[in-house]
Homo-oligomer: A and B are copies of this chain.
Amino acid sequence: MARIVMKFGGTSVADLERIRHVAARVKREVDSGNEVAVVVSAMAGTTNRLVGWCTQLAPLHDAREYDAVVATGEQVTAGLLAIALQALGVAARSWLGWQIPLATDDAHGKARIQSIEGAELIRRMQSGQVPVVAGFQGVGPDRRVTTLGRGGSDTSAVALAAALRADRCDIYTDVDGIYTTDPRIVARARKLVKIAYEEMLELASVGAKVLQTRSVELAMKERVRVQVLSSFDDGTSLGGDLPGTLVVDEDEIVEQEIVSGIAYSRDEAKVTVRGVPDRPGVAAAIFGPLSAASINVDMIVQNVSADGTTDLTFTLNRADLPRAEQTLGEHRAGIGFAALLADREVAKISVVGVGMRSHSGVASTMFRTLADKGINIQVISTSEIKVSVLIAAEYTELAVRALHTAYGLDA
């Protein structure tokens, strides 16, 4: 017997038929003797519709009212799934954030969980009832409804799993696990049986949008074993084998690969600030105003100085580019740059693996592989378990495929 939190995303509960399917899936877990709690998202499309209404009424609206409106999506699904479970003879009841309570801070629209009262839910699970928790929502210190930000139901599920001391948190999505890279680009991509939290975090932040980043951070902090699996295929657990990918502590991964996956992101833009005076404080002069405008900068490279001036290159989310150009333009006098160049046609390719900590040569393999394909590297950045490069966007698929082969990841 195990205690399991099952989380179902918006496409998994998109209509009544799929809600019935989810109920049957939950029943199977209950029937096999497990204690189960469920976390649900809003039915696919609902949240976008509700957000759209708020924005149409006022582009800048009260985040507390936004929360009251959008949190209803998950409330509907929780009630409907409880009804569907009861129809299958499974004892169930819905729980809203304020009823648990799942307490958050007062950062409406992107609140952070502060505590979850788990005792009553545990008591009910032990007596055979399935709590169906509305994801994405909590209650703030002002007793108003809060939401956790887009994708927040993943975080709800992981936090609930921690509070309930669950053995596992199963995240049902529209993919059936975490792959070595995007299977749409590399047909021979392999599904990973296990992946370390740190690797998942690096993959999440570079575009493999399976789990909300915060949910992975929380899982790592609370040591919650997370399983990513598909809500559509019906792979039952045979002989203890799990059908999805387990996100776990790296100590649990016995056969450590050096590189676990190749990620890419096309949402990048590159900015080069030409001819800035090479003196202390110039980086602060550039990045201070960007930070003040809430623009996140990713990779940064400063060229070697020549003639007392230098060039500074950085990358950022492409959607932020117009605001970054405007911000720097407004501060041109203070910074004293000669020209501003922007390039939208770039992509970031990342090689991720906790094995890098103990193995050298990962970066040089990457550089050589790209050079062999004639791909020019524009910017490089590294972390303990990741090497990222910026290249021309048109080489994205070629680079991902070549690296996937080079690190021995092909199935």
Task: Give me the interface of A with B, judged by CB distance under 8 Å.
Answer: 16, 19-20, 50, 53-54, 56-58, 61-62, 64-69, 71-72, 75-76, 78-80, 82-84, 86-87, 93-94, 96, 98-99, 143-145
Contacts and interface: CB of A to CB of B under 8 A. Distances in A.
B76 A62 contact: no
12 contacts: A16-B53, A16-B57, A57-B87, A62-B86, A64-B93, A65-B83, A65-B94, A68-B78, A68-B82, A68-B96, A69-B76, A99-B144
- This chain's copy number in the assembly: 2
A399 to B, nearest CB: 46
B65 A79 contact: yes
Nearest to A78: B68
Looking at chain A's contact residues, the main secondary structure is helix
B75 A69 contact: yes
A117 to B, nearest CB: 12
Pick the most buried of A20, A65, A67, A69: most chain B CB atoms within 10 A of its CB: A65
Given A62-B83, A65-B94, A72-B72, 9 more contacts: A53-B80, A57-B84, A61-B83, A65-B86, A69-B76, A69-B80, A69-B83, A96-B145, A99-B144
B65 A82 contact: yes
A135 to B, nearest CB: 14
A248 to B, nearest CB: 35
Would you list the 4 A-B pairs with minimal beta carbon distance, nearest first? Answer: A69-B79, A72-B72, A68-B79, A58-B87
Given A56-B16, A87-B58, A98-B98, A50 B76 contact: yes
Contacts of A87: 57-58, 61
Contacts of A82: 62, 65, 68
A218 to B, nearest CB: 26
A87 B144 CA distance: 20
A139 to B, nearest CB: 10
Contacts of A57: 16, 19-20, 80, 83-84, 87
A291 B200 CA distance: 64
Contacts of A67: 79
A288 B61 CA distance: 58
Given A20-B57, A53-B16, A66 B84 contact: no
A58 B83 contact: yes
B58 A84 contact: yes
A75 B54 CA distance: 13
A55 to B, nearest CB: 9
Pick the most buried of A75, A76, A99: most chain B CB atoms within 10 A of its CB: A76
Contacts of A53: 16, 76, 80
Pick the most buried of A50, A68, A78, A99: most chain B CB atoms within 10 A of its CB: A68
